[in-house]
Structure 1
Amino acid sequence: MKQNVLIVDDEESIVTLLKYNIEQAGFESDVAYTGADALSKAEVTKFDMIVLDVMLPEMDGMEVCKRLRQKQIHTPILMLTAKDEEFDKVLGLELGADDYLTKPFSPREVVARIKAILRRIDRDPEDTHDTKLTIADLEIYPEQYEASIKQIPLTFTPKEFELLWYLAKNKGRVLSRDLLLQKVWNYDFAGDTRIVDVHISHLREKIEPDTKKPVYIKTIRGLGYKMEEPK
């Protein structure tokens, strides 16, 4: 079955261009021209990916992303923004987007990003041979993209889970922000290491008993982060 992509943009020419290239790459697609329409479609249809413009009528892309995550809809989101400000990028990722592209972009780049995100979610067989990884009260199930702490299920965005899994697989190893960008995001974010900090903060809110005194994910000053077994 073909994977289905929801394209959300209020510019018909951009929607037409993206729809053609996404379908040529082997995906099915649906479209929405407003934030409200995108939200209603995503609530009733299980899409594999949402390509979401930030500047939309009725409800902007940031709000759509926020509301989807509040409703526990964790479909991967690739945000499109005409702004090249770090604040916008980080805010989008804070709200639960998985990736972003700044306009103008090439349709081929959009397709490449979609494929990269879906590959990470599908995961290579060599990455899924472990059915469970346990660190103290934290249990991680890579094949199901699920985790629990003290047997209480946790909810993550795809990107948060990938970061958690990579940290856990490398327990005890200090991982730099640049390395995490490369391994988890799969390409160079040109020094936007605050993106890593944002996602680490989200993980700590979900797994740490006290975010001010983390016992699972430690900050190694000047170097990066390390997953540890709580003492």
Structure 2
Amino acid sequence: MSSILFIDDEPKIRTFVRISLQSEGFDFYEAGNARQGLLLAEQLQPDLIILDLGLPDLDGLVVLSRLRQISRTPPILVLSARSDEDMKISALESGANDYLTKPFGVGELMARIRVLLRDISGIGMNNENDVLNFKNLKINPRAHEVRINDVRIDLSPKEFELLLMLAQSPQTLLTHEVLLTRLWGAHQRHNTQYLRVCVSQLRKKLNDDSESPQFIETIPALGYRFIVPITNNQ
């Protein structure tokens, strides 16, 4: 199982995250300040780092830059109580892979962790080129092909990428921000209109009803979830 280092000076939040991640089987390590976190990052070489920007001993962006200088640098998920766009842009430009605003729920935290780990190692149920089978739906990443009842469905590149992202994490909520960042880049991560249009077009082509979905479920104000369990890979 993957290892995760959590750097945060608030004991209650460290306890909450520790219980959540250990219950999912992750190897969990924690640090209460920046200097201890940097030392552990170098010694442990974790698969992912969760970094709180509001540390008492060093500026969070400085810590982020130093983490990026460590060999085999893992993806970094930044936590912050600040939700202003300038801070998010600064964090992403300084090397963060994703940004999560406090307070946050365990579901959203886990979804972001899974996406970041899958991006670097193919962690999860599928390798990136596996053919995914979901009842009557088949997705072939290598051929860039989608079939329903063995009839090919023509999707735009963005529609295909969106469907693949959701299907590779079945039963998992992917937030608006995660989807927008991966599809259009960090500069568009708040432009939910882009995502709504793309989801609407994709649903039409899949003949998927938003009120009674077969494939894509809307989680109001949060994001989307692919609700069909995978059957097998070929």
Q: TM-score, normalised by structure 2?
A: 0.56
Q: How does 1:23-172 map to 2 (within 5 A)?
A: 23-123=22-122, 124-127=126-129
Compared with structure 1, are the counterparts of its residues 181 and 9 closer, same or farther at alpha carbon in structure 2 (3 Å cutoff)? farther
**Which residue number corresponds to residue 142 of structure 1?**
none
Deviation at 1:191, TM superposition (A): 6.9
Compared with structure 1, are the counterparts of its residues 59 and 18 closer, same or farther at alpha carbon in structure 2 (3 Å cutoff)? same
1:39, 1:64 within 8 Å by CA — same for their partners in 2?
yes
Amino acid at match of 1:22: L
Q: Residue 26 of structure 1 aligns to a residue in which SS?
A: coil
Count of aligned pairs between the two proteins:
153
Amino acid at match of 2:6: I
Tell me how large the CA RMSD over aligned residues is: 3.2
1:160-180 deviation per Cα after TM superposition (whole angstroms, max 9, x unaligned): xxxxxxxxx9xxxx978x998
Deviation at 1:98, TM superposition (A): 0.7
Structure 2 CA distance, aligned partners of 1:94 and 1:24? Answer: 32
Compared with structure 1, are the counterparts of its residues 72 and 104 closer, same or farther at alpha carbon in structure 2 (3 Å cutoff)? same
Structure 1 CA distance, aligned partners of 2:73 and 2:44? Answer: 12
Amino acid at match of 1:14: I
Structure 1 CA distance, aligned partners of 2:66 and 2:94? Answer: 9
1:181, 1:188 within 8 Å by CA — same for their partners in 2?
no
Compared with structure 1, are the counterparts of its residues 52 and 183 closer, same or farther at alpha carbon in structure 2 (3 Å cutoff)? farther
Deviation at 1:61, TM superposition (A): 2.5
2:78, 2:91 within 8 Å by CA — same for their partners in 1?
yes
Deviation at 1:181, TM superposition (A): 9.0
| Structure number with bigger Rg | 2
Deviation at 1:89, TM superposition (A): 0.8
Amino acid at match of 2:112: R
**Which residue number corresponds to residue 186 of structure 2?**
195
Return 5+ residue gaps in structure 1 as ranges.
130-168, 198-231
Deviation at 1:125, TM superposition (A): 2.8
Structure 1 CA distance, aligned partners of 2:87 and 2:160? Answer: 23
1:3-47 deviation per Cα after TM superposition (whole angstroms, max 9, x unaligned): 111111111000000000010011010110101111111011110
Q: TM-score, normalised by structure 1?
A: 0.56
Structure 2 CA distance, aligned partners of 1:29 and 1:68? Answer: 18
Structure 2 CA distance, aligned partners of 1:46 and 1:72? Answer: 8
Q: Residue 70 of structure 1 aligns to a residue in which SS?
A: coil
Q: Residue 46 of structure 2 aligns to a residue in which SS?
A: coil
Q: Residue 55 of structure 2 aligns to a residue in which SS?
A: coil
1:53, 1:80 within 8 Å by CA — same for their partners in 2?
yes
Amino acid at match of 2:129: D
Deviation at 1:184, TM superposition (A): 8.0
Q: Residue 57 of structure 1 aligns to a residue in which SS?
A: coil
| Fraction of identical pairs, as percent | 34
